[in-house]
Amino acid sequence: MLSAQDMQEAAAHGRAVKAVYVYEAPVRLWHWVNALAITVLAITGWFIASPLPSLPGEASDHFLMGYIRFAHFSAGYILLIGFLGRVYWAFVGNPHARQMFVLPLTNATWWREVLFELRWYLFLEPDPKKYVGHNPLAQLAMFTLFLTTAVFMMVTGFALYGEGAQAGSWSHTLFTSWVIPLFGQSQDVHTWHHIGLWVIVLFALIHIYAALREDIMSRQSLVSTMLSGWRMFKDDKP
Amino acid sequence: MVETFYEVMRRQGITRRSFLKYCSLTAASLGLGPAFVPKIAHAMETKPRTPVLWLHGLECTCCSESFIRSGHPLAKDAVLSMISLDYDDTIMTAAGHQAEAILDEVMTKYKGNYILAVEGNPPLNQDGMSCIIGGKPFLEQLKHVAKDCKAIISWGSCASWGCVQAAKPNPTQATPIHKVIFDKPIIKVPGCPPIAEVMTGVITYMLTFDRLPELDRQGRPKMFYGQRIHDKCYRRPHFDAGQFAEAWDDEGSRKGYCLYKMGCKGPTTYNACSTVRWNGGVSFPIQSGHGCIGCSEDGFWDKGGFYDRVTGIQQFGVEANADKVGGAALGVVGAAVAAHAAVSAIKQTQQSRNKPGQDE
């Protein structure tokens, strides 16, 4: 859907177009704030589940676990607020801002492109295609690996946060009150939230590798696009 | 003539002074202000005793054992007299047909007005043969008595969630009360066993105010199950400071550090142990140096080790927890990415060799 439109766009402009403005400033800002928040969340989350060795002295001298949890909760808030802003931008931003949220599942061409990209990654296609936004496989990965996991982590995370904030707090009312009964008990929510950490780590690994690899091997810019917003094409072929 | 609670207490030799002490302690344990003490006293002086029928299914009697040890001043006399405990096959004197006749008598006389307390749960497999009461499957007795009751109290984790007899693979299909009785209000008082004062507190509330205590979404009284053990734990400062016991005999353990790393389930368990405590407020597991095992939580037997922080995941069928599964996945994906990168690099080199002069 979008890629076809992109191709038309690129074709229509012919050789003249070597760069397209893809990621608007709020999307880029969100991407990097999000990356930072997730890094903080993953590291502090790990140390919440497996705390550091004990500190000597009186309990009143230290607040280590408290600070780690504070960082985790703050980063969680940033993730949530950033995400809400990103959803807002999906409505008011350019078409590329919507790509992550909506999969064109009924579009046969899109599925063929997913297969093409899979073949490209499996070294079965000699040359990659050009895409202005995400390539279809990347779009699929963004939706299934990143978007759903991030929403899952925010819902379970704020459900756990609401346990400490207790009944009457917004997080307890909005999340804890139904998430805990849904999973059965608090320990299950902890366990699944912890599994979510690993999914996010896997996503980050694949995401960074694919972005770097595509930056080198594909026919368009990747990493610099998320900094400047401009998608640069390396050749003039369609 | 039906006696009031107060009359029964006085008849049993309890002084008015003790009675009023009991009323204030009850008000305090229910989280009510001093203004409620006279209301409780008044209710107990004027209201006829509500009959309670106490049924036993698949259980270990730890709920009963806990209940009869309620630490309030009037525990062994008044609590048992306060409720008109008309049927309790474990501790009643009557036996056989005489005992069973009481059930029908109360059900007719107090139709729609008696409280059904259930300890344990009915097994559904093998036609319920794993628990026979008076020659019939427990499920039949339960459904029969539940038919005309005012409300049901599910005592303990057995009646509330299923507990150990419902742990995987649950061969007898032991089933908690709310999954077999659907048309009555059910108050879950989980715990293995529940705290004695919580049990008497719930009953006192129901009798005093003539209504059910406010329940959370899982059907537990908010007044006792609204907070986690962790929220009121006296070792919480050590948790926030990052001071943890790492072995049962280490320095941290001796200094009374937080038992989080030893798998304490305080952070995931809703109960009143850290406030009400046990044995008349003497202690509770964490105070005695052992982590909470989460006995008042649904399916606590099936949630992995009592001594693990990151608990096991049954679904994977092998001994695994989130870190093992995640670490293995990261290893596999990491290796795949490395291999993929290597192949990509070779391909890239070949291509630039094949097309000399062209910028990649």
Q: What is the pLDDT of residues B11-22, one digit of tens each?
A: 878 889 988 888
Going along chain B, which residue ranges are E strands? 51-56, 84-88, 115-119, 132-133, 136-137, 151-155, 186-189
Give the model's pLDDT for residue B178: 95
The domain total for chain A is 1
pLDDT tops 70 at residue B356: no
Instruction: State mean pLDDT over A175-195.
Output: 92
Indicate if the pLDDT at residue A7 is higher than 60.
Answer: no
Mutate: best of A68, A175, A186, A206, partner B, most B CBs <10 A: A186
Residue A62 distance to chain B (closest CA, Å): 5
CB contact (8 A) between residue B300 and residue A185? yes
- Residue to test with chain B: of A50, A52, A54, most B Cβ within 10 A: A54
Q: Say whether pLDDT at A4 is over 60.
A: no
> Does residue B162 have a pLDDT over 90?
yes
Q: Specify whether the CB–CB gap between A220 and A130 falls below 8 A.
A: yes
What pLDDT, on the 0 to 100 scale, is given for residue B42?
Answer: 87
Q: With bands split at pLDDT 50, 70 and 90, how would you rate the model's confidence at B318? A: low
In a domain, A138, yes or no: yes
- Calculate mean pLDDT across residues B323-341: 85
B343 touching A (Cβ < 8 Å): yes
Would A237 be classed as within a structural domain?
no
C-alpha span between A232 and A16 (Å, rounded):
12
Q: Tokens representing A55?
A: 């500190």
Which pLDDT score, from 0 to 100, does residue B231 have? 92
**What's the order of all strands across the beta sheet hosting B186-189?**
B84-88, B51-56, B115-119, B151-155, B186-189
Query: CB–CB of A223/A212 below 8 Å?
Result: yes
Whether A1 shows a pLDDT value over 70: the answer reads no
Distance from CA of B201 to the nearest CA of A (A): 21
Tell me how far CA of residue B48 lies from CA of B1, B7, B113, B208, B289, in angstroms.
9, 10, 11, 11, 44
Give the pLDDT score at A238. Answer: 64
Identify the helix (H) or strand (E) that includes residue B177.
none
* pLDDT at residue B50, as a whole number: 78
In a domain, A164, yes or no: yes
Query: What per-residue confidence (pLDDT) applies to A12?
Result: 54
Q: Is the dihedral of CA A147, A179, A48, A82 positive or negative?
A: positive
Sign of CA dihedral B291, B296, B298, B302: positive
Looking at the domain assignment, is residue A227 inside a domain?
yes
Answer whether residue A181 is part of any domain. Answer: yes
Using the beta-carbon criterion (under 8 Å), do A186 and B228 form an inter-chain contact? Answer: yes
What is the pLDDT at residue A95? 87
Instruction: Residue B238: list chain A partners with CB under 8 A.
Output: 59
| Confidence (pLDDT) at B78 | 46
- Enclosing H/E stretch for A19: strand A19-21
pLDDT of residue A3 exceeding 70: no
CA–CA distances in Å: residue B122 to residues A203, B115, B137, B160? 46, 18, 8, 12
The yes-or-no verdict on residue A200 having pLDDT over 90 is yes
Contact at CB, B243 and A62, closer than 8 angstroms: yes
Could you tell me the residue range of the domain that residue A46 belongs to? 4-232
Element (H, E) at A21: strand A19-21
Q: Where are the alpha helices (DSSP H) in chain A?
A: 2-13, 25-49, 64-92, 108-121, 136-141, 148-165, 170-171, 177-183, 186-217, 225-228
Residue B233 pLDDT: 95
Q: Look at B265 and A190 and tell me if their CB atoms are within 8 Å.
A: no
Contact call for residues B92 and B122 (beta carbons, < 8 A): no
Average pLDDT over residues A52-70: 92
Distance CA A45, CA A149 (A): 15
- Is B1 or B224 the better-scoring residue by pLDDT? B224
Region B130-135 average pLDDT: 90
Q: Is A238 domain-assigned? A: no
What pLDDT is attached to residue B358? Answer: 46
CATH number, domain with residue A97: 1.20.950.20
What is the model's pLDDT at position B73?
40
Q: How confident is the model at residue B250 (pLDDT cuts 50, 70, 90)?
A: very high
- pLDDT of the residue at B359: 46
Residue B187, amino acid = I
Q: How confident is the model at residue A172 (pLDDT cuts 50, 70, 90)?
A: very high
Asked if B329 and A198 come within 8 Å (Cβ–Cβ), the reply is: yes
How far, in Å, CA of A168 to CA of A161, rounded?
13
Is residue A167 over pLDDT 60?
yes
The SS3 call for residue B218 is: coil
What's the rounded mean pLDDT across residues A208-214? 89
Q: What tens digit of pLDDT does each residue of B80-105 get?
A: 566 678 888 888 888 888 888 888 99
CA distance A173 to A180: 11
A118 within domain boundaries: yes
Interface contact A173, partner B, CB < 8 A: no
pLDDT band at A171; cut points 50, 70, 90: very high
Closest chain A C-alpha to B167 CA, distance in angstroms: 14
**What are phi and psi for residue B61, nearest 5 degrees?**
70, 10
Average pLDDT in the B162-184 region?
93
Interface of A with B in 178-197 (CB under 8 A): 178, 180-181, 184-188, 190-191, 194-195, 197
* Average pLDDT of the segment spanning B153-175: 93
CB environment B67-97: b (16+ within 10 A), e (fewer): bebbbbbbbeebbbbbbbbbbbbeeeeeeee
Contacts of B49 (CB under 8 A, 6+ apart): B2, B3, B4, B5, B8, B82, B83, B84
Q: What are phi and psi of B318, to 5 degrees?
A: -120, 170
Compute the nearest-CA separation of B238 from chain A (Å): 5
Determine the pLDDT at residue A121: 83
Q: Which residue of A has its CA nearest to B321?
A: A191
Q: Which residue in chain A has the smallest CA separation from B305? A: A187
pLDDT score for A6: 60
Cα–Cα distance, A43 to A31 (Å, whole number): 18
Residue A139 is assigned to a structural domain of this protein: yes
The reported pLDDT for the residue numbered B304 is 81
- Cα A11 to Cα A168, A219, B54, B130, B183, distances in angstroms: 57, 15, 81, 76, 68
Between residues 193 and 232 of chain B, which touch chain A (CB distance below 8 Å)? 216-218, 222, 226-228, 231
What is the structure's pLDDT at A11?
56
First to last CA, chain A: 17
ipTM of the complex: 0.85
Tell me which range, A217-221, B4-8, B61-65, is most confidently predicted by mean pLDDT. Answer: B61-65
Picking from A59-68, B281-290, B319-328, B339-348, which range would have the lowest pLDDT averaged per residue? B319-328
Residue B314 has pLDDT above 70, yes or no: no
**Mean of per-residue pLDDT scores for chain B:** 86
CA distance B333 to chain A (A): 7
Lowest mean pLDDT among A10-14, A141-145, B188-192: A10-14
Task: Report the distance separating Cα A87 and Cα A89, nearest Å.
Answer: 5
* Burial (CB count <10 Å: 0-12, 13-18, 19+), residue A214: buried
Q: Is residue B303 within 8 angstroms of chain A, CB to CB?
A: yes
Q: pLDDT at position B47, please?
A: 77
Q: Which pLDDT score is estimated for B81? A: 60
Cβ proximity of B270 and B232 under 8 Å: no
Residue B170 contacts A where some CB pair is shorter than 8 Å: no
